[in-house]
């Protein structure tokens, strides 16, 4: 895996696990996360459709596709991590 792809995956995963649900309309909530990460990586995630939001805002919205990808990463990362744990 290329370093840039790894950075994107890890950034998306961190955005996801640190996200909260924000109400945007009656019965409509979106996952939102602070964007304290490298802006070049955030730009690439936005270009891929995983996150959305204004560059002026301090947080981003995770899109449905971004949540789906982050959940895949969570399963992959946590399954791999459990294989390397020792008691």
CATH number of the structural domain spanning residue 54? 1.10.10.10
Percent of the chain predicted with pLDDT > 90? 74
- Per the structure, the count of domains in the chain is 1
Q: Which domain holds residue 8?
A: 3-84
Percent of the chain predicted with pLDDT > 70? 90
DSSP code for 73: H
CA distance 61 to 53: 6
DSSP alpha helix (H) spans, the chain:
3-17, 39-47, 64-84
Which residue would you say has higher pLDDT here, 33 or 87? 33
Query: Is pLDDT at 68 greater than 80 in this prediction?
Result: yes
Question: What does DSSP say about strands 20-25 and 28-34: parallel, antiparallel, or unpaired?
Answer: antiparallel
Closest CA to 31 of 14, 48, 56, 55: 14
CA distance 67 to 51: 9
């Amino acid at each position: 895996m290329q370093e840039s792809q790894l950075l994107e995956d890890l950034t998306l995963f961190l955005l996801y696990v640190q996200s909260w649900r924000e109400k945007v309309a009656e019965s409509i909530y979106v996952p939102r996360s602070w964007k304290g990460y490298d802006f070049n990586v955030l730009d690439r995630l936005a270009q891929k459709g995983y996150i959305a939001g204004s560059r002026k805002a301090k947080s981003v919205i995770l899109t449905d596709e971004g949540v789906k990808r982050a959940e895949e990463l969570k399963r992959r990362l946590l399954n791999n991590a459990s294989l390397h744990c020792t008691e």
